[in-house]
Structure 1
Amino acid sequence: MREGESDPGLYDYVPYRGRTPFAWPGGKKVAVWVSPNLEFYELDPPANPHRKSWAKPHPDVVGYSHRDHANRVSHWRMADVMTKHGFPGSVSLSVALCQHHPRVVEDASQRGWEFFSHGIYNTRYSYGMDEAQERAIIEDSIRTVRDATGQTIKGWLAPALTHTPRTLDLIAEYGLTYTCDLYHDDQPMPVNTTSGRLISMPYSLEVNDHYGFFVYNMSPREYADTLIRQYERLAAEPSGTVMCIPLHSYLIGQPHRIGPFEEVLRHIAADDRAWITRSGDIADHWIANVGDAA
């Protein structure tokens, strides 16, 4: 390393070409997991000096009520389509939803969905937290999800994608096995932590519906075509890959968007190269069968 350069050392450099090939269970080529973000947004959250919660001055009734469509209407529309085509959810959960809207969490649990933590609220950020505060968030997440669903969370996606320098070390210390906060690979990879064993679970910004509709300004059919092209390329790769479809039901569950999205699920479900599964199952299989070689 040249003087003055800095590598945070989060993970080792392993070039894609030259890796030992592997396949998913049943010889499948691509592990496909759908990640509904079941979130809770506060209309007037505590202020964080590093980031505003809402774009408009308080009260941002438009932004708040748009997102509230998720837990009132569009969760059910999205979830029914997923269940119809055999796609379990791996839920990026604002754990406060367990208290605010327990019927949404109960519905996801009854469908056999997995839960991992997306922080307490999606309007409270990790920026500026000290270690005690961050530990409290992790402990709250583990306890709340266990009390509400009986599940012990395995994964983490930082609230609103906000972090501290210690986040990955802490979640590994608490026994979580995967993080969705690294976007550097199309396969799971080991993460360097001070304790525990943590891997990166391929999540996605590129095919996240938030980016598709808010950043790239895609139409519903353009977004659906993007998902199919993403799937087809990953399924054609020489070794096992991971495709995550991150969703926000207040976006994908709108009446004018759900039809093209259902076409995507139908396309993938009909292709025998896909292992349609949950993120925790991907992590468990990779750690048990591939991790040491990686």
Structure 2
Amino acid sequence: MNRNVGNSVRNRVAYNSIESRPPLALPGGARVAIWTIVNVESWSPLGPMPRAVLPPPMGQVLLPDIPNWAWHEYGMRVGFWRFLDVLSARNLKATFAVNGTACAQYEEACLAAHRGGWEFMGHGYVQQPMHVTSDQTAAITSTIEAIAKITGAPPRGWESPGLTETDDTLDLLAEAGIEYVADWVLDEQPLPLKTRSGSIVSVPYTVEINDVVISAVQQHASDEIFRRGRDHFDRLYLDGAKAPRIMAISIHPYLTGVPHRIKYLEMLYDYILSHEKVMMWTGAEILDWYQGQARTDTTAN
């Protein structure tokens, strides 16, 4: 693995506190911009599942792992369509983080997301860490091509499976034309990350308002996404009076798309929408706003 100083993690991004950086301003004096990320993944029944709801019998992984594969598959057959209904009923558009192989496996869902005006974002070619991807360049290129086949245009954003990156991933993404990433959950505002071919923007993502963490890892009650999301939003809304904030809501069809959780996602959206000075954007819209702010700041100086 390449560990030279120029590619080290800390040298990708300068430390700059939210208290001391140049000011940003959302349109109309808005305080918070919210983006929803719907994650659609390709799980092969031929190998171990990326995560499981049932432990293996007697601690031994048995393949094919029907119950855990089917747990995920349910999300694409049923849960995804609940997301589509919830978002369209509120005139909201998600950012659709999709594995390249899922574009063909779940073409019906992908086409529905595209018709709904959702933004598409690369999410790896298959659902596995970038560290075990034998050819990252090929995986990135194949994912971009698969998305372009559905949407007619390459994606501008990228979320690595499990937010994993090697020392080379950012450089390869930038060289492939990706403009922003969601892997660096270290701020509440966008910021530039250095690559060997210029910079790429980090758009704030979340491991807090994320149903993998809430429901699959921490195993909270069904209403946790609403309770935590409401409290998270309230503080960002308060802090956003001084400096605007970005809030991400990351959901997966097989988790929040199930019957006992979906109403809490609806409740969270309705709570957020009851406030003024809130933007409901996609990742690309956040990127465009941030780049516009950067250009304005450069012009002013």
Asked whether the two chains share a fold, i.e. TM above 0.5, the reply is yes
After TM superposition, give the deviation of residue 129 of structure 1 in Å: 4.1
Q: For residue 169 of structure 1, give the secondary structure of its aligned residue in structure 2.
A: helix
1:286 aligns with one of 270, 284, 290: 290
Q: For residue 139 of structure 2, give the secondary structure of its aligned residue in structure 1.
A: helix
Describe the superposition over 1:178-213 as per-residue Cα deviations: whole angstroms up to 9, x where unpaired.
110101101101101111330111010011011111
**Closer/same/farther in 2, CA of residues 228 and 195 from structure 1, 3 Å limit:** same
CA distance in 2 between counterparts of 1:230 and 1:198 reads: 27
What are the equivalent positions in structure 2 for 1:152-171 lying under 5 Å apart? Answer: 152-171=154-173
What is the alpha-carbon root mean square deviation over aligned residues? Answer: 1.9
Q: Does 1:232 align with 2:237?
A: no
CA distance in 1 between counterparts of 2:236 and 2:185 reads: 15
Return 102-111 or 266-275, whichever deviates more: 266-275
Is this contact kept in 1: 2:39–2:96, CA < 8 A?
Answer: yes
- Normalising by structure 2, we get a TM-score of 0.88
CA distance in 2 between counterparts of 1:7 and 1:199 reads: 15
Which residue is 2:12 aligned to? 10
The structure 1 segments of at least 4 consecutive aligned residues displaced by more than 4 Å after TM superposition are: 52-56, 291-294
Q: For residue 197 of structure 1, give the secondary structure of its aligned residue in structure 2.
A: strand
Q: Does 1:66 align with 2:68?
A: no
Is this contact kept in 2: 1:36–1:246, CA < 8 A?
Answer: yes
Is this contact kept in 1: 2:211–2:255, CA < 8 A?
Answer: yes
What are the equivalent positions in structure 2 for 1:111-190 lying under 5 Å apart? Answer: 111-122=116-127, 124-129=128-133, 133-190=135-192
Is this contact kept in 1: 2:163–2:182, CA < 8 A?
Answer: no
After TM superposition, give the deviation of residue 7 of structure 1 in Å: 6.0
Return 54-63 or 220-229, whichever deviates more: 54-63
Q: Does 1:98 align with 2:100?
A: no
Share of identical aligned residues, percent?
A: 29
CA distance in 2 between counterparts of 1:120 and 1:242 reads: 27
What are the equivalent positions in structure 2 for 1:190-209 lying under 5 Å apart? Answer: 190-209=192-211
Is this contact kept in 2: 1:173–1:196, CA < 8 A?
Answer: no
CA distance in 2 between counterparts of 1:213 and 1:193 reads: 34
- Normalising by structure 1, we get a TM-score of 0.90
Which residue is 1:76 aligned to? 81
CA distance in 1 between counterparts of 2:154 and 2:186 reads: 26
Which residue is 1:245 aligned to? 249
Which residue is 1:88 aligned to? 93
CA distance in 2 between counterparts of 1:8 and 1:213 reads: 31
After TM superposition, give the deviation of residue 137 of structure 1 in Å: 1.0
Which residue is 2:222 aligned to? 220
After TM superposition, give the deviation of residue 18 of structure 1 in Å: 2.0
Describe the superposition over 1:142-187 as per-residue Cα deviations: whole angstroms up to 9, x where unpaired.
1111111113201111123332210001111122111101011011
Could you list the runs of 5+ residues in structure 1 that have no partner in the other structure?
1-5
After TM superposition, give the deviation of residue 292 of structure 1 in Å: 7.5
Count of residues in correspondence between the two structures: 281
Which residue is 1:3 aligned to? none
Q: For residue 292 of structure 2, give the secondary structure of its aligned residue in structure 1.
A: helix
Q: For residue 247 of structure 2, give the secondary structure of its aligned residue in structure 1.
A: strand
Matched AA of 2:147: V
Q: Does 1:272 align with 2:286?
A: no
